[in-house]
Structure 1
Amino acid sequence: MQEIERKFLVNSLKFKKEARSSFQIAQGFLNTHAERTVRVRIKGNQGFLTIKGKSNESGTSRFEWETEISVAEAKELLHLCEKGIIEKIRYNIPYGNHIFEVDEFFGENEGLIVAEVELQHENETFQKPDWLGEEVTGQTNYYNSQLSKKPYKTWRHE
Structure 2
Amino acid sequence: MVVSTVAGLIIAADSRLGLTNANWTIACDNTFKIAEVEGVDRTVVFTTGYSTVWALAGVQTDKICEHVASNKPKFDAQAILANAARRAGASLTDIAQEVVHATAAYIASHPTDYETRIGQFLFFSRLLRVSVRRPARSAAASAEAKIGEAFGAPAGRHHHCAV
TM-score for the superposition, normalised by structure 2:
0.24
Tell me which protein shows more helix as a share of its residues.
2
Which structure has the larger Rg? Answer: 2
Tell which has more relative contact order, 1 or 2 (C-alpha 8 A, sep 6+).
1
Tell me which protein shows more strand as a share of its residues.
1
TM-score for the superposition, normalised by structure 1:
0.24
